[in-house]
């Protein structure tokens, strides 16, 4: 049993003599194998302590404690490469690879990233955050090693949820036909964020129940050798051999040597199996069975809730909720979706594995036959919607902005080019805080704007979000509403509020000389900034079609225009305004505020906005700088006045 002490806060904290001696995997490898279970216990407790204070991804990391220890114990990392899929389960890996003392800075400004990051450590072989890239990247590394004549093992660790994506199968398909040494570890916890879906998941379940024949090639037999608890599997194999009626595993059909399933929490089995497969040649896939949230009762019981958490009370597991300003945009969307579905039987809702995060839980319960969780398969989600629309249904695709990047061709080729009636509820548009650059919705306005037929809206507040969803849904063609993570300024919802006239913005503050053309989440800080310098502010509402009349009117009645958006400046809404001005022959100074041409690291969302000059004081500083350089000074009453020569 681990020793327990009480910290200042009264929270039980565990002594960790072994873990504290591990500053790198070399230290771990100096321990005896019999000490590993104790290290696992210390590591698990430390992980819970850390995440209870910082928040972050918890349940997945708890499930791979033994696997992580086994990998760093058996393989010669960092010379051997471990490629984590998604990377949300990599906190134990970070703790063992020299970042233990910095884990209290997890996902905070200048702190440890929540995902593997090449610039952070030589042990982070591949930057991740988005799912299902590990096998492709690992295959690339293995091929590079072969080309360069270097001997190393490359190991991809992929979850059963991540395995549902096309990319994973593209990589298996390629790898399976190559003359290459590659290890794929399938971490099967029978969970994605929510319960996994689909036929692959059913296949894995059949593998676990022993209903699929494993061919037990020589390699697999030797990998499992010396494991008495796995004898029953061999017995089953013999039974299957007699009948020869059972299908073999999908992985064997794809050219992999399938090994497993083994218990991923049995430290001894994990180490022995990894040792055995270490020197096997060719492509091998080790199937390990783990429990998401393992070792922490609240997380084992509610793996979806504890997938990603706010700070929590370690003793009770109770999550500490921040002060809520009101419903989040996600909740506004979820409420609208249910109301719209009740009114229109043609509405169907689609999510690529983000039911809870996208606000679809209530809809999935109320309208189970009209709800499609397609797994981590963004491309499929979008083309599925196109097919449904072809037959007269009205699909709503709920998708995070950064994950929509995966489905760009499907958006263009399958939906927009055919002008199909699909509504996109694009959540997490803009910076997202602690998840950092991988998850930031920095580009959606830039990459959707050039697509003909698209209608693109960005709400300034909650009620407008609902109105825009209604507008997009009623429009018979592709439309998207992009809204940020979290809550808005707190405007009450009017469920009866009408749809908006397409392509019309509105002036929300009349000032003089300076006009700020604000998009979506930037309307509120722009208004705040404008008060101090008496600037005009327009809520542009539509990125496409733009309100050309309004832009020209503002250009003609002001001396300097500003555009402001929570999207990359490059190619974004401000660029669209500039194109409109120049195509109408307006020569007016126009300053573009938005995300700069670099990636914004993890930090609190407010810190991120401030770093980009997109909070009220940053916007005000930009307005003032222009006033200054134009030779305008500010009078005491806040009105700008021409400086006397």
Ligand X SMILES: CC(=O)[C@@H](O)[C@H](O)COP(=O)(O)O
Closest C-alpha among 533, 529, 512 to residue 564: 529
Closest C-alpha among 427, 429, 426, 615 to residue 522: 615
| Region from 139-147, 165-173, 431-439, 518-526 binding ligand X, contact rule CB under 6 A | 431-439
| Contact call for residue 432 and ligand X (CB under 6 A) | yes
Q: Which of 192, 214, 273, 423 binds ligand TPP (CB under 6 A)?
A: 192
Between 115 and 251, CB nearer to ligand X: 115
Q: Which of 86, 168, 299, 407 binds ligand X (CB under 6 A)?
A: 86
Q: What is the contact mask toward ligand TPP in residues 59 to 98, using x (rule: CB under 6 A)?
A: -x--x----------------------x-xx---------
Instruction: Assess whether 292 carries a catalytic annotation.
Output: yes
Between 264 and 484, CB nearer to Mg ion: 264
With CB under 5 to 8 Å by kind, the binding choice for 395 among ligand X, Mg ion, ligand TPP, none is none
| Region from 176-184, 260-268, 341-349, 427-435 binding ligand X, contact rule CB under 6 A | 427-435
Strand, coil or helix: 183: strand
CB 591 within 8 A of CB 561: yes
Give least dist CB 376 to ligand X, A: 9
| Contact call for residue 541 and ligand X (CB under 6 A) | no
| Contact call for residue 353 and ligand TPP (CB under 6 A) | yes
Give least dist CB 270 to ligand TPP, A: 16
| Contact call for residue 159 and Mg ion (CB under 5 A) | yes
Angstrom distance (rounded) from CA 117 to CA 246: 42
| Contact call for residue 550 and ligand X (CB under 6 A) | no
Give least dist CB 258 to ligand X, A: 27
Binders in 567-626 for ligand X, by CB under 6 A: none
- Residue 625, both tokens: 């700088």
Binders in 87-146 for ligand X, by CB under 6 A: 88
Q: Which of 296, 403, 519, 632 binds ligand TPP (CB under 6 A)?
A: 403
| Contact call for residue 191 and Mg ion (CB under 5 A) | yes
Q: Which residues pair with 385 in a beta bridge?
A: none
CB 594 within 8 A of CB 567: yes
Length in residues, the chain: 645
Q: What is the CA radius of gyration of the chain?
A: 27
Binders in 133-162 for ligand TPP, by CB under 6 A: 159-162
Give the Cα-Cα-Cα angle 12, 15, 17 (nearest 5 degrees).
Answer: 165
Binding residues for Mg(2+): 160, 189
Q: Which of 125, 189, 358, 446 binds Mg ion (CB under 5 A)?
A: 189
Closest C-alpha among 21, 155, 180 to residue 75: 155
Between 97 and 187, CB nearer to ligand TPP: 187
- Residue 553, both tokens: 């009117």
Angstrom distance (rounded) from CA 132 to CA 358: 20
Between 88 and 291, CB nearer to ligand X: 88
| Contact call for residue 484 and ligand X (CB under 6 A) | no
In a 13 Å sphere around the CA of 227, the CA atoms on its Cβ side amount to 28
Choose, from 378, 566, 607, 626, the residue flagged as catalytic. 378
With CB under 5 to 8 Å by kind, the binding choice for 154 among ligand X, Mg ion, ligand TPP, none is none
- Residue 288, both tokens: 């390990």
Helix 573-583 × helix 548-557 angle, to 10°? 70
Task: Give the torsion through C-alpha atoms of 28, 34, 35, 38, to 10 deg.
Answer: 130
Strands (E) across 294-377 are located at 308-309, 347-351, 371-373
| Contact call for residue 261 and Mg ion (CB under 5 A) | no
Choose, from 406, 428, 466, 509, the residue flagged as catalytic. 406
| Contact call for residue 428 and ligand X (CB under 6 A) | yes
- Residue 486, both tokens: 């979290």
Which residues are CB-neighbours of 471 under 8 A, at least 6 positions away? 455, 457, 479, 499, 500, 502
CB 160 within 8 A of CB 86: no
Angstrom distance (rounded) from CA 111 to CA 113: 6
Strand, coil or helix: 444: helix
Binders in 350-379 for ligand X, by CB under 6 A: 357
Q: What is the contact mask toward ligand X in residues 280 to 309, using x (rule: CB under 6 A)?
A: ---------------------------xx-
Measure the N-to-C terminal CA separation of the chain; round to a whole number of Å. Answer: 81
| Contact call for residue 157 and ligand X (CB under 6 A) | no
Q: How many residues bind ligand TPP (CB under 6 A)?
A: 21
| Region from 145-153, 185-193, 224-232, 530-538 binding Mg ion, contact rule CB under 5 A | 185-193
Angstrom distance (rounded) from CA 315 to CA 214: 43
3-state SS, one letter per residue, for 366-385? HCHHHEEECCCCHHHHHHHH
Choose, from 44, 236, 284, 292, the residue flagged as catalytic. 292
| Contact call for residue 193 and ligand TPP (CB under 6 A) | yes
Between 432 and 560, CB nearer to ligand X: 432
| Contact call for residue 85 and ligand X (CB under 6 A) | no
641's enclosing H/E stretch is strand 640-642
Closest C-alpha among 445, 459, 463, 391 to residue 422: 391
Q: How many residues bind ligand X (CB under 6 A)?
A: 11
Which residues are CB-neighbours of 91 under 8 A, at least 6 positions away? 47, 50, 51, 56, 57, 61, 103, 106
Binding residues for thiamine diphosphate: 88, 129-131, 161-162, 189, 296, 378
| Contact call for residue 292 and ligand TPP (CB under 6 A) | yes
| Region from 91-99, 151-159, 348-356, 426-434 binding Mg ion, contact rule CB under 5 A | 151-159
Q: Which residues pair with 425 in a beta bridge?
A: 398, 481
Give least dist CB 391 to ligand X, A: 31
Judged by the rule CB under 6 A, the positions of this chain that interact with ligand TPP are 60, 63, 86, 88-89, 130-131, 159-162, 189, 191-193, 292, 353, 376, 378, 403, 406
Catalytic residues, which ones? Answer: 292, 378, 406
Judged by the rule CB under 6 A, the positions of this chain that interact with ligand X are 57, 86, 88, 307-308, 357, 428, 432, 435, 439, 485
């Amino acid at each position: 049993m681990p020793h327990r002490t009480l910290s200042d806060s009264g929270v039980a904290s565990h002594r960790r003599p072994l873990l504290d001696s591990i500053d790198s995997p070399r230290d771990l490898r100096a321990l005896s194998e019999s000490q590993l279970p104790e290290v696992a216990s210390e590591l698990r407790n430390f992980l819970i302590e850390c995440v209870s204070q910082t928040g972050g991804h918890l349940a997945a990391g708890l499930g791979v404690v033994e696997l992580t220890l086994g990998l760093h114990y058996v393989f010669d990392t960092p010379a051997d490469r471990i490629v984590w899929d998604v990377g949300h389960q990599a906190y134990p890996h970070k703790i063992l690879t020299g970042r233990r003392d910095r884990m209290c800075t997890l996902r905070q400004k200048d702190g440890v990233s929540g995902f593997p990051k090449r610039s952070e450590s030589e042990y982070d072989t591949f930057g991740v955050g988005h799912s299902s890239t590990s096998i492709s990247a690992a295959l690339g590394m293995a091929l590079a090693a072969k080309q360069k004549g270097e001997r190393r093992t490359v190991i991809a660790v992929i979850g059963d949820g991540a395995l549902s994506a096309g990319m994973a199968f593209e990589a298996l398909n390629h790898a399976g036909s190559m003359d290459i040494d590659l290890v794929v570890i399938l971490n099967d916890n029978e969970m994605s964020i929510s319960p996994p879906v689909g036929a692959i998941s059913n296949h894995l379940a059949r593998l676990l129940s022993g209903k699929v024949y494993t061919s037990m090639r020589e390699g697999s037999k030797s990998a499992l050798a010396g494991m008495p608890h796995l004898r029953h599997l061999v017995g089953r194999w013999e039974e299957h051999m007699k009948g020869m009626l059972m299908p073999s595993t999908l992985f064997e059909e794809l050219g992999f040597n399938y090994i497993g399933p083994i218990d991923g929490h049995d430290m001894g089995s994990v180490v022995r199996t990894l040792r055995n497969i270490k020197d096997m040649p060719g492509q091998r896939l080790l199937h390990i069975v783990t429990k998401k949230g393992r070792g922490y009762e609240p997380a084992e019981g509610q793996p979806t809730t504890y997938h990603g958490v706010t700070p929590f009370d370690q003793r009770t597991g109770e999550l500490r909720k921040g002060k809520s300003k009101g419903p989040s945009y996600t909740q506004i969307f979820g409420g609208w979706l249910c109301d719209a579905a009740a009114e229109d039987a043609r509405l169907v809702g689609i999510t690529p594995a983000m039911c809870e995060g996208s606000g679809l839980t209530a809809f999935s319960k109320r309208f189970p036959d009209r709800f499609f969780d397609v797994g981590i398969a963004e491309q499929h989600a979008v083309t599925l919607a196109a097919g449904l629309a072809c037959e007269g249904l009205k699909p709503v695709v709920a998708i995070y902005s950064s994950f929509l990047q995966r489905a760009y061709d499907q958006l263009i080729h399958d939906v927009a080019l055919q002008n199909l009636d699909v509504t996109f509820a694009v959540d997490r548009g803009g910076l997202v805080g602690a998840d950092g650059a991988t998850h930031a919705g920095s580009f959606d306005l830039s990459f959707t704007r050039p697509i003909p037929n698209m209608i693109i809206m960005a709400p300034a507040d909650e009620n407008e979000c609902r109105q825009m969803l209604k507008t997009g849904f009623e429009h018979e063609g592709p439309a998207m509403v992009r809204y940020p993570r979290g809550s808005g300024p707190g405007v009450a919802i009017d469920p009866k509020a009408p749809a908006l006239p397409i392509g019309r913005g509105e002036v929300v503050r009349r000032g003089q000389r300076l006009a700020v053309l604000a998009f979506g989440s930037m309307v509120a800080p722009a208004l705040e900034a404008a008060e101090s310098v008496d600037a005009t502010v327009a809520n542009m509402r539509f990125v496409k079609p733009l309100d050309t009349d309004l832009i020209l009117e503002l250009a003609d009645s002001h001396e300097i225009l500003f555009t402001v958006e929570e999207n990359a400046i490059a190619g974004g809404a401000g660029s669209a305004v500039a194109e409109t001005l120049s195509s109408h022959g307006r020569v007016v100074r126009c300053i573009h505020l938005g995300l700069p041409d670099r990636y914004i690291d993890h930090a609190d969302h407010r810190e991120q906005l401030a770093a980009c000059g997109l909070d009220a004081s940053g916007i005000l500083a930009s307005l003032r700088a222009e006033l200054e350089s134009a030779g305008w000074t500010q009078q005491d009453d806040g009105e700008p006045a021409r400086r006397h020569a």
